[in-house]
Amino acid sequence: MKKKQKITSIDSVVSKNIRKFREESGLTIEKLANKSQISSNYISHVLSSKKRASYEVLERIAAAMQISVWDLFKDETPLKEGFTDLDQRIFRQIKRIKHKEKINTEKISDLLKIIIRLINS
């Protein structure tokens, strides 16, 4: 029995960035598939977050779009108005931690204390 892959928030970021850069490059899914030598069906599954692409696959997709593989991991989701850049970075880190492991309120409290100490130092 094949184990189903758990799709995470980072997978959503990667798929959103592939879509964004693909459209900016003027590539259809088929053209991206040809340039990266990956099936268009597989790319469609990655774009719809049904499949998690390996690092090797992401490297091939990035190379086909002439970008760095790290560009695919950048989360530039805007937050509510009034948040500073630091607020946004802290929020994203907490969100990633929350998705990565079941986090309890004590851990969040400890993390916030560390953040406050860093800000005030």
pLDDT by residue (tens digit) across 19-67?
A: 999 999 999 999 999 999 999 999 999 998 888 888 999 999 999 999 9
pLDDT by residue (tens digit) across 74-120?
A: 877 665 666 676 776 777 676 666 655 555 666 666 777 777 777 77
SS3 label, residue 102: coil
pLDDT given for residue 100 in this prediction: 57
Segments in 3-84 forming alpha helices (H): 9-24, 29-36, 40-47, 55-64
As a whole number of angstroms, the distance between CA 73 and CA 41 comes to 22
pLDDT given for residue 65 in this prediction: 95
> Is 68 a residue whose pLDDT tops 80?
yes
